[in-house]
Amino acid sequence: MLRRWPTSTDWIALAVFAILLLLPLGIGAYPVRIATVIFMWAALAGSWNLLAGYAGAVDLGPVVYHGLGAFVTAALMLKVGLPFLVSAGLAGVVAMAVAFAVGTPTLRLRGAYFAIGTLALAESAKQLALAWDRLTPIPLTGGSAGISLPLSTGYIVFYYVMLALMGGVTVAALWLRHSKFGYGLRAVGENDRLAEASGVDIHRLKRRLYVGSAFVIALTGGTGGYWLSYINAMEAFSASMTFQMVVMTLLGGLGTPFGPVLGAAFLTLVSEFLGTRFVYHYLIAIGVIIVAVSLFAPSGLAGIADLARRRRTQGAA
């Protein structure tokens, strides 16, 4: 009989989440900012992990929905005058519609063809955003100069929005472990041709996951843009964001619910620590750390934690 969650690990995660809800009450602004950055990257990496880790589809273009969410949120706030949360939610809906239209043909591609196709899509979206104001009569992206948003009234709202996004993605990953939908995705990830021959509608499963992850990525992009009060197409659609999502997921553990959270926390904290002490060389140190983890812990930080837990259990037995 399969074990259903919540497991002991899930209860620990729930306790940590409860602590995070109260964390801003007892610490200063700087730790809250660092925590918000971790939540943001955990939500982005977790969204990427849903498709790549469970369905085996390596998407190299998630920044399409990050940039789309940022610019649509800004447009609704500046042009229409809608509140931030309403604008971000509508931007997520727009991203879902675009993801459905894009995913319907592209998700039929397999392996490297899908990865290359989504990477080309991301680059095309960036060039379109840079040229939008010059090619259309509707000013929206500000070209290479970008656009500025009104300064927010505080930082607490961004903390809780990013925490909610991270929590939602993590809960979705936990649900996929023992749901019928998740079993179908794992069958697709292990052997999509065999799964299709067995009657699994692999295209519909991957498209549902693709559309859902686009919604979260767009919400994160809109929240991050308003938090920084500045959006630039070169940064909002930057391929480096995609690569950072990939690295964080692989560091934490591909295809695991808590891997992206661990990877985002680890890489953010290490970058913050080394960046303030070794301004010109910290990227080299981070590269060495990433290579070391990849060599000695191919299953990521989540795999190390799971191995330690199993050894404790065996020792107690």
Contact 173, 52 (CB under 8 A): no
What region does 143 belong to: left with phi over 0, alpha with psi -120 to 50, or beta? left
pLDDT band at 7 (very low <50, low <70, confident <90, very high): low
Give the span between the Cα atoms of 46 and 255, in whole angstroms.
9
Contact 63, 238 (CB under 8 A): yes
What residues have CB less than 8 Å from 98, skipping those under 6 apart?
A: 64, 65, 68, 214
- Please name which of 160, 215, 140 lies closest in space to residue 17, comparing C-alpha atoms: 160
DSSP character for 229?
T
Give the span between the Cα atoms of 161 and 81, in whole angstroms.
20
**Residue-level pLDDT at 284:** 77
What region does 199 belong to: left with phi over 0, alpha with psi -120 to 50, or beta? left
**Residue-level pLDDT at 1:** 37
Instruction: Provide mean pLDDT across the span 11-26.
Output: 83
**Residue-level pLDDT at 314:** 59
Assess whether pLDDT exceeds 90 at residue 170. Answer: yes
- Please name which of 152, 159, 129 lies closest in space to residue 141, comparing C-alpha atoms: 129
- Please name which of 47, 98, 55, 13 lies closest in space to residue 248, comparing C-alpha atoms: 47
For 231-242, b/e burial (b = at least 16 CB within 10 A) is bbbebbbbeebb
**Residue-level pLDDT at 264:** 94
Give the span between the Cα atoms of 95 and 89, in whole angstroms.
10
Instruction: Provide mean pLDDT across the span 24-51.
Output: 92
Contact 78, 228 (CB under 8 A): no
What residues have CB less than 8 Å from 83, skipping those under 6 apart?
A: 77
Distance (Å) of CA 78 to CA 51, 120, 148, 150: 33, 30, 10, 9
pLDDT band at 199 (very low <50, low <70, confident <90, very high): confident
End-to-end CA distance of the chain: 21
**Residue-level pLDDT at 78:** 92
What residues have CB less than 8 Å from 301, skipping those under 6 apart?
A: 251, 252, 253, 259, 262, 263, 266, 293
pLDDT band at 2 (very low <50, low <70, confident <90, very high): very low
Instruction: Provide mean pLDDT across the span 63-74.
Output: 96
For residue 59, give both structure tokens: 């998407």
**Residue-level pLDDT at 65:** 97
Give the span between the Cα atoms of 24 and 18, in whole angstroms.
12
Total length of the chain: 317
Give the span between the Cα atoms of 226 and 88, in whole angstroms.
9
Task: Kindly tell me the burial class for residue 253, based on how many C-beta atoms sit within 10 Å of its own C-beta (0-12, 13-18, 19 or more).
Answer: buried
Q: Is the peptide bond before 6 cis (omega within 30 degrees of 0)?
A: yes
**Residue-level pLDDT at 41:** 96
**Residue-level pLDDT at 221:** 96
pLDDT band at 119 (very low <50, low <70, confident <90, very high): very high
**Residue-level pLDDT at 202:** 85
Give the span between the Cα atoms of 252 and 240, in whole angstroms.
18
Q: What percent of the chain has pLDDT over 90?
A: 50
The half-sphere exposure of 19 on its side-chain side, counting CA atoms within 13 A, is 8
**Residue-level pLDDT at 71:** 95
Instruction: Provide mean pLDDT across the span 223-251.
Output: 92
- Lowest average pLDDT, out of 88-102, 135-149, 157-171, goes to 135-149
Contact 231, 147 (CB under 8 A): yes
